[in-house]
Amino acid sequence: MHWARAFAESTIGKKIFMAASGVILVGFVLVHMTGNLLMFQGPAAINHYSAFLKSSAPLLWAVRITLLVSVAVHIGSAWSLTLVARAARPARYARHHAQVSTWGARSMRTGGVLLFGFIVFHLLHLTTGNVHPEFSPSDVYGNVVVGLRMPVVAAFYVVAMIALGLHLAHGVSSLFQTLGLNHPHWNPIRHRLAIVLAVLVFTGFSTIPLAVAFGVLR
């Protein structure tokens, strides 16, 4: 198995792990966002959907474990590659002008750390309820409305979704390149797909804290 080890230890291998886990996480984000929008159909719709997701414990845990492993692989590769990159340039330039770097590319690392913090908070807030004022396991609708009523919490959710949008704007087009799919026919499409997904995901998720903040959902 030394080939597998050599692959996993190479910088390209780590990038491929990051891209592959990213694909799984993007898939989750899209499903999660679509499910969340049931909030606008009223308490019955979202609570029924939640009960449906939890109806099979083995399936639920299979999905949860897949996601946890993906997050671990994604962060582990990012962490390792960041250390390699830091070590690769010990002395900084007195003057350095980046020419083509996008906000998405620049914010991958800090935005990624912010997103990790958000995920931990979000799980404690609306999955386990540890940091929620009045958590009820069966009433998702009530949990969301009560949980996002504090402006600071709602603002944190929106800021985290800006970070997620930027992360996807770079990550979704970047993953094709990392997986070796670079072709002049498809490059404009993958760049556009990344922007469309970034805007879609940001908008889809942010409407909920904003709707609670402005009293549309109550």
Give contact residues for other proteins (rule: CB under 8 A).
Answer: 3-4, 6-7, 9-16, 81, 84-85, 87-102, 105, 108, 170, 173-174, 176-184, 187
In the numeric block, the tokens 């109806």 are attached to 55
User: Which positions ≥6 away from 127 have C-beta within 8 Å?
Assistant: none
Is the CB of 57 or the CB of 87 nearer to other proteins? 87
Which sign, positive or negative, has the C-alpha torsion 189, 191, 194, 199?
negative
> Minimum distance between the CB of residue 6 and other proteins, rounded to whole angstroms?
7
Is the CB of 11 or the CB of 127 nearer to other proteins? 11
> Minimum distance between the CB of residue 186 and other proteins, rounded to whole angstroms?
10
Tell me the C-alpha distance between 87 and 45, whole Å: 51
User: What's the first-to-final CA gap in the chain, in angstroms?
Assistant: 56
Dihedral, CA atoms, 211, 112, 173, 100, nearest 10 degrees? 110
> Minimum distance between the CB of residue 104 and other proteins, rounded to whole angstroms?
10
Is the CB of 172 or the CB of 208 nearer to other proteins? 172
> Minimum distance between the CB of residue 173 and other proteins, rounded to whole angstroms?
8
DSSP single-letter state for residue 38:
G
Is the CB of 132 or the CB of 191 nearer to other proteins? 191
Tell me the C-alpha distance between 7 and 178, whole Å: 14
Dump strand ranges (E) for 79-148. Answer: none
Cα separation values, 126 from 47, 95, 116, 147, Å? 13, 46, 15, 8
> Minimum distance between the CB of residue 108 and other proteins, rounded to whole angstroms?
7
> Minimum distance between the CB of residue 199 and other proteins, rounded to whole angstroms?
20
Is the CB of 185 or the CB of 218 nearer to other proteins? 185
Which sign, positive or negative, has the C-alpha torsion 174, 162, 51, 137?
positive
Is the CB of 15 or the CB of 74 nearer to other proteins? 15
